[in-house]
Amino acid sequence: MHPRAGTPALPEDLIDVDALVGAYYDGVPDPSDPEQQVVFGTSGHRGSSFRTAFNEAHIVAITQAIVEYRAAQGTDGPLFIGRDTHGLSEPAQRTAIEVLVAGGVEVHVDARDSYTPTPAVSLAILRHNGAGTSQGVRTQGPGLADGIVVTPSHNPPTDGGFKYNPPHGGPAGSDATGPIAARANELLAGGWRQVPRTPYERAITSDLVKRHDYLTAYVDDLANMIDFDAIRGAGVRIGADPLGGAVAEYWGVIGERYGLDLTVVNPTVDPRWSFMTLDWDGKIRMDCSSPSAMASLVNRMTAGDGPAPYDIATGNDADSDRHGIVTPDGGLMNPNHYLAVMISYLYGGARPGWPAAAGIGKTLVSSSLIDRVGAKLGRQVIEVPVGFKWFVPGLIDASVGFGGEESAGASFLRTDGTVWTTDKDGPIACLLASEILATTGKSPSEHHRELVAELGESWYARIDAAATREEKSRLAALSPNQVSATSLAGSPITARLTEAPGNGAAIGGLKVVTDDAWFAARPSGTEDVYKIYAESFVSAEHLTQVQAEAKDVVSAALQG
């Protein structure tokens, strides 16, 4: 923990935005350097122009690769594009529009020439492709839309990000990102300067660029997701902090449109994020699940002897696909705790229009409290690898009612049981917290305490362990029979998993389970470490023992 974690940023912590944007245009990546190539993680390509990892060349190459990929797939409808508030997002969107228009793609941009949350782009794609109609979402045929979101999510202000959403509206899988990244790197190595481009001022006024009112479409449709009558009737006082992100302009409109007692806690948009408190490592990071990054909002809710200014306070990251929930009686909720509360509430009678067989989607590194809640409700828990893309098919066909990640990302079905978004949606998770309070009279923190009293308390944490690139490759390719251990922290091992039980997909690592604990180990995509997620239903000391033995189990498996 950095000594200044949770304290306000100082002038020396802030970036020079002009220099960042200048480096975007001036820097030319070395295509032979792996650190400067196009790499799609679970949420697209990310990097900083200061490190020559996110530059004009990258965006030209990736966008051209998308133009070619969508043509090969027969995706000939409009492409919806949105950007967040990072300093590199606007120049990257301009570059992308130049390439898209030159490639003959119809591009739908924000009608206000402003910021667009990730879920608003997903919603636009799905609505165009039939969501909410009797035909349902089309995934093939003429006129299909897809999209691009220009965002590095909660990453520091130095970073840029670029992600592709196919016609299913969710994050692209490796079947798309693999060929897109490969083609982009080909262009990066020789040819990106020859990619056709229409100068921006001509492109933005061309017949191929259409204006789409993302804000109104999203805000109006929220009536099909949240019980605003209950929130308004109960007089829930809401403090919504967009953390300088893309939903900054949305929260005020949501409050006005639905007559809520809602205060936009900090409407400031500043690509330096000068108003933030520093994260755990001393960096500025818009992580709404981090107590350090959310310190100012938490302090407002919990400091002093008087009543809290809000009944529910919320935060979102820069592209608004994640949520943070703060209550007067519990502070910032652990993401796993709130996932369990949402699931308990939604499946416990709050959504009678949902299919009776709709399962619960969770990632394999999310808390096992969710499994216990699912068992209590008599609902199937579908455990998938890390990445929201795994929930997309289930949300589209309503075989999954809720999909959630341990990193505070979730989406769920409309009240009528049809698909809403297939990408993570921070605002609906935030608004649901107020609905829960309004309809039950209890805060989400109170609901979590009740779940713990009934189903057991757990201790959960993630740590990193050093690993070489070769060790990370071996970890990603492990098979269960390479794990020779028979017990973990005093309990017999009941499962050794290298494939997710919910869909049989490779997890790119290892999960080991006992009756009262588990750990999962996955290689980092950006650092020479592997991540160990672990949970114990015994004690904090037992969790520490699980973590220690997890390293030994992984080490033995890698050596064996």
DSSP secondary structure of 331-350? EEPPHHHHHHHHHHHIIIII
Per DSSP, 466 falls in state: E
Tokens of 397: 């066909």
Segments of the chain assigned to CATH 3.40.120.10? 14-214, 218-455
CB 137 within 8 A of CB 398: no
Rounded Cα–Cα distance for residues 532 and 534 (Å): 6
Give 223's Cβ-side CA count (13 Å radius).
Answer: 8
Q: How confident is the model at residue 203, as a pLDDT? A: 98
Rounded Cα–Cα distance for residues 246 and 270 (Å): 11
Q: How confident is the model at residue 526, as a pLDDT? A: 62
| CATH T-level fold of 14-214 | Alpha-D-Glucose-1,6-Bisphosphate; Chain A, domain 3 (3.40.120)
Catalytic residue among 49, 153, 407, 458: 153
Q: Return the ∠ at Cα 157 (arms to 153 and 158), rounded to 5°.
A: 110
Q: What angle do helix axes 444-455 and 369-377 make, rounded to 10 degrees? A: 80
- What are phi and psi for residue 467, nearest 5 degrees? -160, 140
CB 121 within 8 A of CB 147: yes
Segments of the chain assigned to CATH 3.30.310.50? 459-559
CB 495 within 8 A of CB 513: yes
User: Cβ of 527: how many Cβ atoms within 10 Å?
Assistant: 12
Q: How confident is the model at residue 558, as a pLDDT? A: 85
Give the neighbor-by-neighbor strand order of the sheet with 495-499.
Answer: 459-466, 529-536, 517-523, 506-513, 495-499
At 96, which amino acid appears?
Answer: A
Note the pTM of the prediction, 2 decimals: 0.96
Q: What is the pLDDT along the chain (560 residues), one digit of tens a residue?
A: 899 999 999 999 999 999 999 999 999 999 999 999 999 987 789 999 999 999 999 999 999 999 999 999 999 999 999 999 999 999 999 999 999 999 999 999 999 999 999 999 999 999 999 998 777 899 888 999 999 999 999 999 999 999 999 999 999 999 999 999 999 999 999 899 999 999 999 999 999 999 999 999 999 999 999 999 999 999 999 999 999 999 999 999 999 999 999 999 999 999 999 999 999 999 999 999 999 999 999 999 987 778 899 999 999 999 999 999 999 999 999 999 999 999 999 999 999 999 999 999 999 999 999 999 999 999 999 999 999 999 999 999 999 999 999 999 999 999 999 999 999 999 999 999 999 999 999 999 999 999 999 999 999 998 888 888 888 888 888 889 889 999 999 999 999 999 999 999 999 999 999 999 999 999 876 667 889 999 999 999 999 999 999 999 998 888 86
Q: Is 96 strand, coil or helix?
A: helix
Ramachandran area for residue 107 (φ above 0: left; ψ -120 to 50: alpha; else beta): beta
Q: Is 153 a catalytic residue?
A: yes
Rounded Cα–Cα distance for residues 496 and 485 (Å): 10
C-alpha closest to that of 322 among 330, 314, 313, 331: 314
Look up tokens 């030159």; give the residue.
Answer: 102
Tokens of 441: 């009279």
DSSP 174-234: HHHHHHHHHHHHHHHHTTGGGS----HHHHTTSTTEEEE-HHHHHHHHGGGTS-HHHHHHH
Rounded Cα–Cα distance for residues 349 and 498 (Å): 35
Q: How confident is the model at residue 529, as a pLDDT? A: 82
HEC assignment per residue over 251-319: HHHHHHHCCCEEEECCCCCCCCCCCCECCCCCCCCCCCCCCCCCHHHHHHHHCCCCCCCCCEEEEECCC
Q: How confident is the model at residue 560, as a pLDDT? A: 66
Q: What is the CATH number of domain 218-455?
A: 3.40.120.10
Rounded Cα–Cα distance for residues 509 and 512 (Å): 10
- What are phi and psi for residue 261, nearest 5 degrees? -85, 80
Tokens of 360: 């619960």
Q: Is 471 strand, coil or helix?
A: helix
Q: What is the CATH number of domain 459-559?
A: 3.30.310.50
- What are phi and psi for residue 8, nearest 5 degrees? -60, 145
Q: How confident is the model at residue 469, as a pLDDT? A: 84
